[in-house]
Amino acid sequence: MPRRPATDEQREAARKRLQAAASAQYAAFGAGGVSARSIAERAGVSVGTLYTYFGSLQGLMQSLWMEPLDRINARLNRIAEAHADPVERIAKLLEAYVDVAIKAPELFRGAFLFVRPDSLETPAKDALESAVFGVLLLAAIEEGQAVGRIRPGEPRRLAQLAWSAVHGSLALPVNFDRLNLLSGQVIAADMIAVILHSLEPARPGPG
Question: Which pTM value belongs to this model?
Answer: 0.75
Mean pLDDT over the full length of the chain: 88
Smallest CA-to-CA distance from 119 within 58, 48, 66, 28 is with 58
Q: How confident is the model at residue 56 (pLDDT cuts 50, 70, 90)?
A: confident
Spatial separation of the C-alpha atoms in residues 192 and 186, rounded to whole Å: 10
Spatial separation of the C-alpha atoms in residues 21 and 33, rounded to whole Å: 12
3-state percent helix, strand, coil for the chain, nearest multiple of 5? 70, 0, 30
* Backbone CA torsion sign across 162, 166, 171, 176: positive
Three-state SS for 117-141 is CCCCCCCCCCCHHHCHHHHHHHHHH
Residue 71 in this model has a pLDDT that exceeds 50:
yes
Both 136 and 182 in a single domain?
Answer: yes
Both 38 and 103 in a single domain?
Answer: no
Both 51 and 123 in a single domain?
Answer: no
Q: How confident is the model at residue 172 (pLDDT cuts 50, 70, 90)?
A: very high
Q: Which CATH number covers residue 14?
A: 1.10.10.60
Q: By percentage, how much of the chain surpasses pLDDT 70?
A: 91
How high is the pLDDT of residue 3? 57
Question: Contact 101/59 with Cβ under 8 angstroms?
Answer: no
Amino acid at position 74, single letter:
A
Both 112 and 166 in a single domain?
Answer: yes
Q: Which CATH number covers residue 143?
A: 1.10.357.10
Both 81 and 170 in a single domain?
Answer: yes
Question: Contact 151/201 with Cβ under 8 angstroms?
Answer: yes
Spatial separation of the C-alpha atoms in residues 36 and 18, rounded to whole Å: 10
Residue 36 in this model has a pLDDT that exceeds 50:
yes
Instruction: Report, as an integer, the average pLDDT of 37-50.
Output: 91
Domain assignment present for 206: no
Residue span of the structural domain in which 191 resides: 64-199
Both 83 and 39 in a single domain?
Answer: no
Hey, is 33 helix, strand or coil? helix
How high is the pLDDT of residue 115? 65
Q: How far is CA 54 from the centre of its chain?
A: 20
Both 49 and 69 in a single domain?
Answer: no
How high is the pLDDT of residue 162? 97
| Maximum average pLDDT range among 98-107, 108-117, 135-144 | 135-144
Instruction: Report, as an integer, the average pLDDT of 108-132.
Output: 75
Number of domains composing the chain: 2
| Maximum average pLDDT range among 33-37, 51-55, 56-60, 156-160 | 156-160
Both 18 and 110 in a single domain?
Answer: no
Domain assignment present for 205: no
Spatial separation of the C-alpha atoms in residues 121 and 85, rounded to whole Å: 41
Both 104 and 188 in a single domain?
Answer: yes
Spatial separation of the C-alpha atoms in residues 110 and 95, rounded to whole Å: 19
Q: How confident is the model at residue 1 (pLDDT cuts 50, 70, 90)?
A: very low
